[in-house]
Amino acid sequence: MIDIEAGAAGSEDDVYPNPAILIGGGGAIGLISMLSLPWPVAVASTVLGTLMVAGAEIDAREYLLPDLVTWGAVIAAFLPRRC
């Protein structure tokens, strides 16, 4: 339920991912990508995966997906096609 008297839905400070989740998830994605994909695709996969982890963590906590994560993921999704 939304509390109208609480003010805005969230502050600007709340839209940053938890560093422990981001580093852990990004590290696992990077390790699996580097072991199983050619390096240009692995780098793009790691960037995309890390952005997805950041977006999922922020969205689960705040019900808000920041534009930086959204547009970064769109760019990273098309990056392997250029490599």
What pLDDT was estimated at residue 1?
Answer: 46
What pLDDT was estimated at residue 24?
Answer: 96
What pLDDT was estimated at residue 26?
Answer: 95
Specify the amino acid at residue 56: A
Note the pTM of the prediction, 2 decimals: 0.70
Low-confidence ranges of the chain (pLDDT < 50): 1
CB 15 within 8 A of CB 58: yes
Q: Where are the domains of the chain?
A: 30-83
Within 13 Å of residue 76, how many CA atoms lie on the same side as its CB? Answer: 17
Strands (E), the chain: none
